[in-house]
């Protein structure tokens, strides 16, 4: 049965592999047999991820990329195709958040979150998707958030982008079938650099403990199974789906 989740011989392009969830995803995908192309802007951190994979006997390459730079996205995808002949799996994980009340938020700030958390995923899915469609194989996994289900004060750009990403996932599924699937993961609160301010807030911690059936923050490990499911052949008949991984945060009224 383990073969069902295997990524042996698969080439995976993973954005945001330098730290946080992306770093753990890179190690997970490599442990399942994939060659992981670790994309992001901070080359030093990407090299550290690739080295960590190498030490465990896995395969990884550093792929410097600002996902908001359309020309760079096109160029990197073409470079990868020339080198590896294919991208089997695209994990759109990179993302940013900006915390400010709507009345104080300049349009450019809102726009920058939409550019990084939604427009970039569209560009990558389009450029990579073209090759996947031609090869008649592909798995696209978009990392959304429980903020695609709930609203929350001070993160309007993030909430709008993550809702949009769930919609984009459905449309990718509609246009890319039958051989290319597109699904999303909506993680709850997982401890990373993205949410240090919340980790340090006593009231937020108390709320999270009460609101989740798991009574705790998530860890990057909690996403490993869902990620391997959607990146592998185990999910061949799933597409357009958003898998919520939140310890029960959005399903219970506590
Ligand atoms: N942590 C959570 O609780 C949580 C919950 C729900 C959803 N998520 C989502 O999960 C994803 C990863 O979050 P995280 O917590 O791991 O965040 P993180 O620790 O802040 O890491 C963000 C990653 O995105 C990359 N990135 C940001 N802007 C980029 C750009 N323009 N081009 C290329 N790479 C870029 C960063 O690398 P560089 O800065 O080096 O480029 C970094 O690797 C995000 O989409 C986030 O919205 C997180």
CA of 76 to the centre of ligand 1 (A): 19
CA of 1 to the centre of ligand 1 (A): 32
Predicted local distance difference test score (pLDDT) of residue 141:
99
For residue 68, which atom of ligand 1 is closest to its CA? 31
Is 189 tagged catalytic? Answer: no
Q: Tell me whether residue 32 is in a domain.
A: yes
Q: Tell me whether residue 253 is in a domain.
A: no
**Sheet containing 180-187: which strands, arranged edge to edge?**
59-64, 35-40, 11-15, 89-92, 138-143, 180-187, 242-245
Q: Tell me whether residue 252 is in a domain.
A: no
Cα 233–chain centre separation: 18
Greater model confidence, 147 or 253: 147
Query: Sorting pLDDT into bands at 50, 70 and 90, what band is 253?
Result: confident
* C-alpha–C-alpha distance, residues 254 and 211, integer Å: 5
* C-alpha–C-alpha distance, residues 121 and 67, integer Å: 8
* Model confidence at 254: pLDDT above 80: no
Q: Tell me whether residue 254 is in a domain.
A: no
Q: Tell me whether residue 101 is in a domain.
A: yes
Mean pLDDT of 168-179: 98
How many domains does one find in the chain?
1
Predicted local distance difference test score (pLDDT) of residue 115:
98
Predicted local distance difference test score (pLDDT) of residue 48:
98
> Nearest residue CA, atom 46 of ligand 1?
95
Q: Tell me whether residue 200 is in a domain.
A: yes
User: Ligand 1 pocket check: which of 148, 194, 196, 204 to mutate, most ligand atoms within 8 Å of Cβ?
Assistant: 194
CA of 141 to the centre of ligand 1 (A): 14
User: If you average pLDDT over every residue of the chain, what do you get?
Assistant: 97
* C-alpha–C-alpha distance, residues 224 and 190, integer Å: 12
CA angle 179, 185, 188 (to 5 degrees): 175
Q: Tell me whether residue 136 is in a domain.
A: yes
> Nearest residue CA, atom 20 of ligand 1?
194
Q: Is the CB of 242 under 6 A from ligand 1?
A: no
Q: What is the pLDDT of residues 41-50, one digit of tens each?
A: 999 999 999 9
Q: Tell me whether residue 185 is in a domain.
A: yes
Listed in sequence order, the DSSP H helices in 17-119 are 20-31, 43-55, 70-84, 107-114
Predicted local distance difference test score (pLDDT) of residue 122:
99
Range of the domain at 20: 2-245
* C-alpha–C-alpha distance, residues 136 and 155, integer Å: 38
| CATH number, domain containing residue 218 | 3.40.50.720
Q: Is the CB of 49 under 6 A from ligand 1?
A: no
* Model confidence at 62: pLDDT above 90: yes
């Amino acid at each position: 049965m383990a073969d069902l989740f295997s990524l042996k011989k698969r080439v995976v392009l993973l954005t945001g592999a330098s730290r946080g969830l992306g770093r753990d995803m890179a190690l997970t995908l490599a442990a399942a047999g994939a060659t992981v192309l670790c994309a992001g802007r901070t080359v030093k951190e990407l090299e550290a991820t690739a080295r960590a994979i190498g030490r465990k006997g896995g395969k990884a390459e550093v792929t410097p990329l600002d996902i908001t730079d359309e020309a760079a996205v096109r160029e990197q995808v073409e470079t990868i195709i020339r080198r590896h002949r294919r991208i089997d799996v695209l994990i759109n994980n990179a993302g940013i958040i900006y915390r400010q009340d709507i009345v104080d938020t300049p349009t450019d700030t809102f726009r920058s979150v939409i550019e990084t958390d939604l427009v970039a995923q569209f560009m990558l899915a389009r450029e990579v998707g073209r090759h996947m469609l031609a090869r008649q194989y592909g798995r696209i996994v978009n990392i959304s958030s429980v903020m695609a289900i709930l609203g929350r004060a001070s993160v309007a750009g993030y909430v709008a982008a993550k809702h949009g990403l769930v919609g984009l996932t459905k449309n990718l599924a509609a246009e890319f079938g039958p051989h290319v699937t597109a699904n999303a993961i909506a993680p709850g609160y997982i401890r990373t650099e993205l949410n240090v301010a919340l980790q340090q807030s006593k009231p937020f911690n108390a709320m999270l403990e009460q609101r989740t059936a798991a009574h705790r923050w998530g860890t990057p490990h909690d996403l490993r199974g869902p990620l391997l499911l959607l990146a592998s052949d185990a999910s061949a008949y799933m597409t357009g789906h958003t898998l919520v991984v939140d310890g029960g945060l959005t399903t219970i009224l506590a």
